């Protein structure tokens, strides 16, 4: 009975959470695919770019008493700045652009599931580069602010033969960061696809509550966690002392 239902659902429509290829082209003997992730990513990018153009215009001819749109933009910027300032200590002014950018990007990507897109962050090819960027920032900050001797000292922390374990610990950071974001968004996407695919006859209105949890709440929490961990790691690499 159940197996029949599952098979029927799979035959009627392949459960809609897989990444689908839209069209392919050849490049130097390899077949490259443009997939749904690329297109959803492009939509998110375009939305953000258009929004930022309007925000720039609103701020450029800003008034002393802000209008509605200017007020919203200032609110967003102040919120993000406050978040970075409260977490990072003295070095916050160097990283608030990066943190603000990835915060807005990941938030929009996660929430785009509400609009019927497949969230781009449910593709490991999107979250892993984010993790790698964070990892490069951490490493560069380590070498810049702790100097080479400090980095070597940090790697040999309790005892010198602890070095391999410390190295593995360092390289696990981008992988665990990106896998956490990816798996959380993917699980929400799969849940919603299962609800719509298997419970189709009775899926009226009530999946909205699930959307609120899986897309909005979970997406916002994961965005917050990704940025928070990035900030914590970078602040850890930069160190406490003020070095101009």
Q: Which residues bind other proteins (CB under 8 A)?
A: 18, 176, 179-180, 183-184, 186-187, 190, 221-222, 224-225, 228-229
The least distance separating other proteins from the CB of residue 232, rounded to whole angstroms, comes to 9
The least distance separating other proteins from the CB of residue 221, rounded to whole angstroms, comes to 6
**CA torsion through residues 19, 196, 46, 124, sign:** negative
Query: Which residues contact residue 193 at a Cβ distance below 8 angstroms, ignoring those fewer than 6 apart?
Result: 15, 16, 17
173, HSE (Cβ side, Cα atoms, 13 Å): 23
55 versus 107: smaller Cβ distance to other proteins: 107
The least distance separating other proteins from the CB of residue 55, rounded to whole angstroms, comes to 27
121 versus 184: smaller Cβ distance to other proteins: 184
Query: Which residues contact residue 227 at a Cβ distance below 8 angstroms, ignoring those fewer than 6 apart?
Result: 83, 99, 102, 103, 106
The 3-state DSSP class for residue 24 equals strand
73 versus 100: smaller Cβ distance to other proteins: 100
59 versus 193: smaller Cβ distance to other proteins: 193
What span, in angstroms and rounded, lies between the C-alpha atoms of 83 and 224? 10
The least distance separating other proteins from the CB of residue 2, rounded to whole angstroms, comes to 12
């Amino acid at each position: 009975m159940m197996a029949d239902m599952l098979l029927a659902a799979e035959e009627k429509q392949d459960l809609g959470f897989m990444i689908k290829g839209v069209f392919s082209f050849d490049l130097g003997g390899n077949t490259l695919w443009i997939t749904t992730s690329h297109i959803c990513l492009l939509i998110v990018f375009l939305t953000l770019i258009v929004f930022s153009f309007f925000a720039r215009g609103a701020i450029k001819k800003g008034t002393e008493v802000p209008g509605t749109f200017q007020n919203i933009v200032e609110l967003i910027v102040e919120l993000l700045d406050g978040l970075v300032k409260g977490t990072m200590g003295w070095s916050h002014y160097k990283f608030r652009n990066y943190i603000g950018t990835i915060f807005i990007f990941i938030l929009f990507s996660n929430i785009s599931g509400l609009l019927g897109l497949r969230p781009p962050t449910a593709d490991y090819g999107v979250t892993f580069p984010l993790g790698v960027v964070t990892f490069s920032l951490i490493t560069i900050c380590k070498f810049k602010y702790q100097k080479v001797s400090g980095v070597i000292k940090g790697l040999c922390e309790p005892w010198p033969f602890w070095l391999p374990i410390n190295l593995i610990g360092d390289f696990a950071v981008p992988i665990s960061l990106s896998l956490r974001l990816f798996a959380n968004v993917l699980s929400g996407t799969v849940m919603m696809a299962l609800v719509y695919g298997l419970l189709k006859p009775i899926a009226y209105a009530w999946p909205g509550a699930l959307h609120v949890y899986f897309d909005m709440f979970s997406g916002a929490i994961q965005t917050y966690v990704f940025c928070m961990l990035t900030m914590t790691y970078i602040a850890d690499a930069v160190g406490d002392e003020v070095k101009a």
